[in-house]
Each structure stands twice: as structure tokens, then as C-alpha cells.
């Protein structure tokens, strides 16, 4: 920005304490900030320029806030607040408060070359699922690019609804977006539709698989010329399933009617790989054996009540063996001095000269890392939210605070206590069940102990 009207330490709207800028573009700046009311770290995107010459930027930032707030999906950027206020230096500024995400953009990831095809497909499936949620709400993103896909500690996130439009909305006199990802029909002013997002999704997947978009272009003129050639992209990636390659190329069709929907793409690519789907599979592992056991017991009961069978057959002894999947728990920490990776438990070895025994005492375990303890908290959040014991907005709030702590442990102890106070307040409001609160609070205490040992369980 040509003239900084906001500085580190400024208090915006008497609530958001600006820490440091983390991004800028056009006339807006994104700040890392502290919400003094809810005591959490947030991202504040501020339009801080002369109102008379903002070129409709205030309308766009307001539209971004409204569009993102309409979408209910765990992998869409969370929007908390929008407002207009006077800065400490007397200028009117519009702002939108969003979830602060820690990680890297897909663009940064692609700077190192194409992704392995399973990773590319997983990212595209998640983006497709978010777009499906947006289209159900009548919102077209219109700017699906690697810069607007974030790879975070909590999964893939779709960002920046700054040029989003309602389905059916006519194209502006000037086309907005990034040329290689703009669907051909947008160049001739076609109304906004979900098909335009699906085209961009196809470009995104193609680039993740090959390292470059199918029609590289930096200007609208270059894009026009590339599309006029009629050259059909070819996708040859070793190991990539034929159905996935075909779906990607269908997304790139010049005819919007020939493209799949976002929902179809999510299904083809297998969007059911997130926490909710994993939890469902875990439940199935427990339920299926139990159903089988119930069926076996019922069959035995019916046989016992059959008098004809009793008269005709000698007495027999029936033994039923039921295999029930064990409950899934976090692995214990590795023994001191062992090297582990997340999800791996280092094998223990008996000490020299001691007889091997499974009951032998092990070395004192190393404490959990913040990353592992944070994941344990989020696993509880996933499980309890699926059971309807935690409200969706609370889930997002907890995720935000946990990810912020993992990424930046500054002042961890007071921030852990703030998280615990928030959980207690949410329970009092009925947003978290008593059982979920009890389990979560204990996990947060363990999480806090990875930063400091001064915490004690709340009574």
C-alpha cells in the first residue's frame, strides 16, 4: 500500500489488536491480529485507502465476507466479522475478520514441481467438495487458483471469495480472475455458474499433475489465442487412474454442459477422505462385527426353538467366536531416546541382561509433542462433533486456536487457559455437551503440558 494508515499495535474497531502484516494485495492488507473480546488469534483483511478512489473495493470486500459466510464447509475459510471503522489516523477502513491459517499455499508447493498423483487427487477432491457446498448456497467462487488453496496443518482450505458471484449474475464489464483458470464462457460475458468453477478445478488438477496449466497465459489476449487453437490437452501421468484423468479432461471442456458438476468431481476423486469420512469408517469397523455377532446369536436362538430340529438331530455344542475391532486410540509416546514419526510407535527392546517379558517396566516415556497433542484434541473434536455434541461454529473456533498454538507457541500458557475458559463458557451456553467438555478439557490440559508443566486440571 502506498501509505500505511495502520501500524503494528493499532486497535481496530476497539477490538482487534494488529500484530503484524502477513500479506498484501491491491489496496488491502491482511494482518495477524488478536481478538481481545474472544481472546483468539485471527486474520484481519483491511481495505485502508481513500474511499473516493477505492474503485468499488469496499463492495468487493463486503461481498467476500458475505459469500464466505454463506458456505458451511470445514475446508472453506471461516469468516467471523465484517465492519467499517475509523483508523487511529482518521481514515475510514473496511475490514473482514477471518480464520488465521498456518501453512503454505498450493502455489508455493507447486514451485517445487508437480505433486504425486495421489496427493494431487486428494487436494482436488477437497476443493471440489467445498465448491459443491458453495454452489448449493448459490455462490460461484470464480477465482480457484493455486494461490487461493492453502495446505494447512488441518488439511486443505479454499480461500479468497473476493470476486465471488451469485449463480446467474452477469459478468462485469471487466473480467476478473487469473487468465489460465478462467473458463472460456466468462470471456464472452456468460452468467456466473458452477461450471466456471469446475473448469478452474480442472486446470488446478491438471497443473498439480503436470506442473503447468493446460493453457499457460499471462494476459487475456494470450488466453484467447490459446483457446482459439482448439488444441485439446493431453494428460499422461504414470499410475493415475483412467477415471481420474478422464474427469480432469471433462472439466476442461469448452462446453460448460459437458463438464461434470463439483459434486460429481468430489465423488469421482473420492472426497470422502477427510476426518468425517475417517470417523465413519472407524465406526463401521466397530459396528459391522457387532452386527454379525447379533445375527449369529439370533440364528442360534431360532435353532434352539425349532422342535423338529430338536427331535431329529442329536445334541450339539455350538461355539461362536466374535471378532470385534478394538477401539482406536492414539499410540503411546515412544520411549526416551527413540526416534518416531507421527502415527508410528517405536518398538521397545529388553535391556541387556534382563529376561524378555511383556510385563517388564519400560523406560520413562517422552512427553507428547505439541503437534501430536494438538492432533489428539482435534480427533476428539471430530468425533464429538460428528455425534452432535459440539456446535459447528465452536468446532471451527477450537481448530483455529489449536492450530495457532501449534504454529506459534508464544505465550502458550495463558492461551491454553483462555482456550479452557472458552470451552467452559461454551458448555455453559449449551454449545458443548458435558461429556465432550470433560474429554476436551483433559486433552487441552495435556496439550498445554507440551508447552509448560505449570497447568493443573480444572475442577
81-94: pLDDT as tens digits:
989 888 888 888 88
Give CA–CA dist 346/359, Å, rounded.
17
Give CA–CA dist 416/405, Å, rounded.
8
Q: Which of 184-198, 266-280, 346-360 has the highest mean pLDDT?
A: 184-198
Whose grid coordinates read 493431453?
A: 234
Q: What is the pTM of this model?
A: 0.58
- Closest by CA to 343, choosing from 353, 335, 333, is 333
Mean pLDDT check: name the lowest of 192-201, 292-301, 315-324: 315-324
pLDDT at 323 > cutoff 70: no
Quote the cell numbers at residue 147. Answer: 494461490
Q: What is the model's pLDDT at position 393?
A: 72
The residue-averaged pLDDT of 234-258 equals: 94
The values of phi and psi at residue 277, to 5°, are -65, -40
Give CA–CA dist 218/328, Å, rounded.
50
pLDDT at 459 > cutoff 80: no
Q: What is the model's pLDDT at position 39?
A: 92
Whose grid coordinates read 541382561?
A: 353
| List of domains in the chain | 11-99 (3.30.200.20), 103-269 (1.10.510.10), 275-300+368-459 (no CATH)
Q: What is the model's pLDDT at position 382?
A: 84
183-236: pLDDT as tens digits:
988 888 888 899 999 999 999 999 999 999 998 777 767 777 777 776 788 899
> Per-residue confidence at 396, pLDDT binned at 50, 70, 90?
confident
Selected catalytic residue, list 48, 81, 143, 197: 143
Q: Is 48 a catalytic residue?
A: no
Quote the cell numbers at residue 428. Answer: 455453559
Q: What is the model's pLDDT at position 230?
A: 66
Give CA–CA dist 260/247, Å, rounded.
8
Whose grid coordinates read 491480529?
A: 33
pLDDT at 317 > cutoff 80: no
> Per-residue confidence at 437, pLDDT binned at 50, 70, 90?
very high
The residue-averaged pLDDT of 327-356 equals: 38
Name the residue with higher pLDDT: 56 or 302: 56
pLDDT at 351 > cutoff 90: no
Q: Which of 61-65, 69-73, 248-252 has the highest mean pLDDT?
A: 248-252
What integer best gives the mean pLDDT of the chain?
A: 76
Task: Give the largest CA-CA distance in the chain.
Answer: 98
- Closest by CA to 381, choosing from 365, 363, 393, is 393
The residue-averaged pLDDT of 298-306 equals: 50
Give CA–CA dist 424/410, Å, rounded.
23
Name the residue with higher pLDDT: 204 or 297: 204
Q: What is the model's pLDDT at position 426?
A: 87
Residues 6 or more apart whose CB falls under 8 angstroms from that of 58 comprise: 47, 51, 84, 94
**H or E element in which residue 109 lies:** helix 106-110
Q: What is the model's pLDDT at position 286?
A: 39
Q: Are 177 and 196 in contact (CB under 8 A)?
A: no
Q: What is the model's pLDDT at position 123?
A: 97
The residue-averaged pLDDT of 13-36 equals: 88
Q: Are 214 and 184 in contact (CB under 8 A)?
A: no
Amino acid at each position: 500500500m502506498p501509505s500505511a494508515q495502520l501500524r503494528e499495535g493499532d486497535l481496530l474497531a476497539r477490538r482487534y489488536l494488529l500484530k503484524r502484516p502477513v500479506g498484501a494485495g491491491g489496496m488491502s492488507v491482511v494482518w495477524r491480529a488478536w481478538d481481545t473480546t474472544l481472546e483468539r488469534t485471527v486474520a484481519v483483511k483491511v481495505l485502508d485507502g481513500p474511499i473516493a478512489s477505492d474503485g468499488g473495493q469496499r463492495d468487493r470486500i463486503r461481498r467476500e465476507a458475505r459469500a464466505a459466510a454463506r458456505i458451511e464447509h470445514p475446508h472453506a475459510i471461516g469468516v467471523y466479522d465484517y465492519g467499517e471503522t475509523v483508523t487511529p489516523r482518521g481514515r475510514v477502513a473496511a475490514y473482514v475478520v477471518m480464520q488465521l491459517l498456518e501453512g503454505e499455499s498450493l502455489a508455493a508447493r507447486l514451485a517445487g514441481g508437480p505433486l504425486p498423483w495421489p496427493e494431487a487427487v486428494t487436494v482436488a477432491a477437497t476443493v471440489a467438495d467445498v465448491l459443491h457446498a458453495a454452489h448449493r448456497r448459490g455462490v460461484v467462487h470464480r477465482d480457484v487458483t493455486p494461490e487461493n488453496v492453502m495446505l494447512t496443518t488441518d488439511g486443505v482450505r479454499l480461500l479468497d471469495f473476493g470476486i465471488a458471484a451469485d449463480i446467474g449474475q452477469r459478468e462485469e464489464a471487466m473480467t476478473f480472475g487469473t487468465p489460465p483458470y478462467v473458463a472460456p464462457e466468462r470471456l464472452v460475458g456468460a452468467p456466473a455458474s458452477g461450471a466456471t468453477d469446475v473448469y478452474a478445478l480442472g486446470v488446478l488438477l491438471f497443473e498439480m499433475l503436470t506442473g503447468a496449466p493446460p493453457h499457460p497465459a499471462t494476459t487475456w489476449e494470450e488466453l484467447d489465442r490459446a483457446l482459439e487453437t482448439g488444441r485439446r490437452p493431453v494428460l499422461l501421468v504414470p499410475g493415475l487412474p483412467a477415471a481420474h484423468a478422464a474427469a480432469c479432461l471433462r472439466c476442461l471442456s469448452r462446453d460448460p454442459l459437458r463438464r461434470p458438476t463439483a459434486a460429481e468431481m468430489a465423488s469421482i476423486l473420492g472426497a470422502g477422505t477427510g476426518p468425517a469420512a475417517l470417523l465413519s469408517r472407524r465406526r463401521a469397523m466397530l459396528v459391522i462385527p457387532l452386527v454379525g455377532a447379533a445375527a449369529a446369536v439370533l440364528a442360534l436362538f431360532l435353532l434352539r426353538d425349532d422342535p423338529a430340529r430338536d427331535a431329529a438331530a442329536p445334541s450339539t455344542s455350538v461355539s461362536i467366536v466374535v471378532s470385534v475391532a478394538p477401539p482406536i486410540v492414539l499410540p503411546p509416546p515412544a520411549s526416551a531416546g527413540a526416534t518416531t514419526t507421527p502415527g508410528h510407535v517405536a518398538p521397545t527392546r529388553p535391556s541387556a541382561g534382563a529376561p524378555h517379558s511383556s510385563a517388564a517396566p519400560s523406560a520413562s516415556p517422552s512427553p507428547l509433542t505439541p503437534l501430536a497433542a494438538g492432533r489428539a484434541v482435534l480427533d476428539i473434536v471430530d468425533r464429538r462433533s460428528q455425534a452432535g455434541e459440539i456446535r459447528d461454529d465452536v468446532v471451527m473456533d477450537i481448530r483455529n486456536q489449536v492450530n495457532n498454538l501449534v504454529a506459534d507457541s508464544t505465550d502458550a500458557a495463558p492461551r491454553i487457559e483462555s482456550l479452557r475458559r472458552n470451552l467452559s463458557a461454551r458448555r455453559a451456553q449449551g454449545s458443548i455437551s458435558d461429556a465432550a467438555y470433560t474429554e476436551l478439557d483433559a486433552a487441552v490440559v495435556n496439550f498445554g503440558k507440551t508447552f509448560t508443566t505449570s497447568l493443573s486440571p480444572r475442577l
